[in-house]
Amino acid sequence: MASGVHEQWSSRMAFIFAAVGSAVGLGNIWRFPYMAGENGGAAFVLIYIAFVVFIGMPVLMAELTIGRRGGMSPINTIKKVALAAKKHPRWSWIGGLGAFGGGLGLLSYYSVIAGLVLAYIIKGAFGAFSKFWADPSVAGLTGDAANAAVRVQSAAEINTLFADPAMMVIWHLAFIGITVYIVARGINAGLEKAVTYLMPALFFILLILVGYSMATGEFAMAIAYLFEPDFSKVTSETVLAAVGQAFFSLSLTVGTMLAYGAYLPKTISIHKSAAIIAASDTGVALIAGLAIFPLVFAYGLQPDAGPSLIFETLPIAFGAMPGGQIFGTLFFVLLAIAAITSSISLLEPAVSYFEEKQGMNRWKSAIFAGTAAFTIGLLSVFSYNTWADMTPLGFIGITEINGATANFYTLIDFTVANIIMPVGGLLLAFFAGWVALRKDMMEEMGLPEGGIFEIWHVLVKYVCPPVLIFIIISGLT
């Protein structure tokens, strides 16, 4: 058995940045806004925030605690903690479901979208965004007419890329390649250090974008859209989608935080770290929403455009703002980095397992897991073009999910985020509350009886499991 895949995090800062780096990614800037858009805005946002606090945080604390307790790859960690409580080793399957079903499944399409981000770096650098405004169809127009014309340009740009499967495969391969390379080499001090500078930089650029949106976009409309809930729009599907988004965004249930917890020095406070991770993650998602929706409304775009939303909105603004070529390029560079610090954490659980269990070396494990994710990802690539209208579950009557055509991409995303993640969260909360020894959890968290520990324990034991069961059943039926 290989020893620890990497040693302990070099400092509390390093851990926080790695964990925040994992949490903050496409889920915040790409997925959150379009999920909010597809699910009616503010009501979704508020439910999402409630889930982050009452379900996400407890599960995050559970994963870090169990991870540190077990100190191995997610599957073996859970086995160890179960055995310590004299429970069945088969509980380790929760780790397997997460790392393989969730982690690799998610990485498969995460990488396709991240590939688009890479493509947009190049587009930005070559001034593609300002060309929208310079196009003869736009020049000379003002007001709504100009907006409508520029919208057509921006949509054409992303649609051309969608329509080109070969290009999409290349970008997808490039992104998986980078991920595999970093994971294979081990997460070295260089990456820890890079993340420490780059995450604040991303935050900074987002703030600039919000400022720009505030000044030029329909900011008030965006605020109303994001924060004035109309609960009559809430269905059981909205609630399930919000729970899925909370798990997705906090990097839960796929082994990531279990794996990161295993490298966590004993002296670091788990509950404080969890609070910082959750607050940063939610902060970035909301700020991204505030950057994007004012532009969506200002240019007459549809908030429920789906996965192409940020690729259509932001470039319009970059094309119009002074220095947009630089900011636009930089934004996509930082987004790519945010995506990489997440994708490595998606691959890590499977890789650490292959290493530990199968005795494969790190390179082999990473290439093997990466190839699996790449291959599954091809289904998503073709869902944007050749197979856009193909509905693999059409034969059992599933042709649409939440208004989107149920092609491979929609189905994989739905399965991961709305089934595997909520079920994984349910199992993890149940495991932490009912299977693992209460005193082990308490000792590992370094908390006294009562207080925060008790609140956490009640949440994972009595609140999360029934609430999740209810949400899953009503959301799926």
Which residues of the shown chain bind ligand PHE in the complex (CB under 6 A)?
A: 22-23, 25-28, 106, 248-249, 251, 254, 256, 342, 345-346
Distance of CA 135 to the CA centre of its chain: 35
Smallest gap, in angstroms, from Cβ of residue 391 to ligand PHE? 26
Residue type, 242: A
* Angstrom distances, CA of residue 140 to CA of 133, 143, 145, 156: 10, 10, 10, 20
Task: Return the number of the residue (26 or 82) whose C-beta is nearest ligand PHE.
Answer: 26
HSE-CB for 388 with a 13 A CA cutoff: 8
Smallest gap, in angstroms, from Cβ of residue 249 to ligand PHE? 5
Smallest gap, in angstroms, from Cβ of residue 373 to ligand PHE? 12
Task: Return the number of the residue (14 or 321) whose C-beta is nearest ligand PHE.
Answer: 14
Task: Return the number of the residue (22 or 108) whose C-beta is nearest ligand PHE.
Answer: 22
CB 132 within 8 A of CB 154: yes
* 400, β-bridge pairs: 405
* Angstrom distances, CA of residue 74 to CA of 219, 252, 268, 331, 435: 43, 12, 20, 33, 16
Smallest gap, in angstroms, from Cβ of residue 27 to ligand PHE? 2
Smallest gap, in angstroms, from Cβ of residue 188 to ligand PHE? 19
Task: Return the number of the residue (22 or 308) whose C-beta is nearest ligand PHE.
Answer: 22
* Minimal CB distance residue for ligand PHE: 27
Smallest gap, in angstroms, from Cβ of residue 87 to ligand PHE? 26
Smallest gap, in angstroms, from Cβ of residue 256 to ligand PHE? 4
Task: Return the number of the residue (32 or 132) whose C-beta is nearest ligand PHE.
Answer: 32
H or E element at residue 181: helix 165-185
- Within 8 A by CB and 6+ apart from 103, the residues are 254, 255, 256, 346, 347, 349, 350
Task: Return the number of the residue (78 or 138) whose C-beta is nearest ligand PHE.
Answer: 78
Smallest gap, in angstroms, from Cβ of residue 203 to ligand PHE? 14
Smallest gap, in angstroms, from Cβ of residue 375 to ligand PHE? 20
Angle in degrees, CA 425, 114, 242, rounded to 5: 30
Considering only CA atoms, which of 412, 363, 342 is closest in space to residue 114? Answer: 342
Cα 39 to Cα 25: distance, rounded to the nearest angstrom = 20
CB 419 within 8 A of CB 448: no
Task: Return the number of the residue (179 or 391) whose C-beta is nearest ligand PHE.
Answer: 179
Smallest gap, in angstroms, from Cβ of residue 196 to ligand PHE? 18
Task: Return the number of the residue (309 or 320) whose C-beta is nearest ligand PHE.
Answer: 309
Task: Return the number of the residue (43 or 246) whose C-beta is nearest ligand PHE.
Answer: 246
Cα 289 to Cα 116: distance, rounded to the nearest angstrom = 20
Task: Return the number of the residue (209 or 298) whose C-beta is nearest ligand PHE.
Answer: 209
H or E element at residue 313: helix 309-320
Considering only CA atoms, which of 231, 244, 275 is closest in space to residue 455? Answer: 275
Is the Cα dihedral 280, 185, 125, 409 positive or negative?
Answer: negative
Could you please report the per-residue DSSP string of 241-294?
HHHHHHHHHTT-SSSHHHHHHHT--TTS-HHHHHHHHHHHHHHHHHHHHHHHHH
State the DSSP code for 304. T
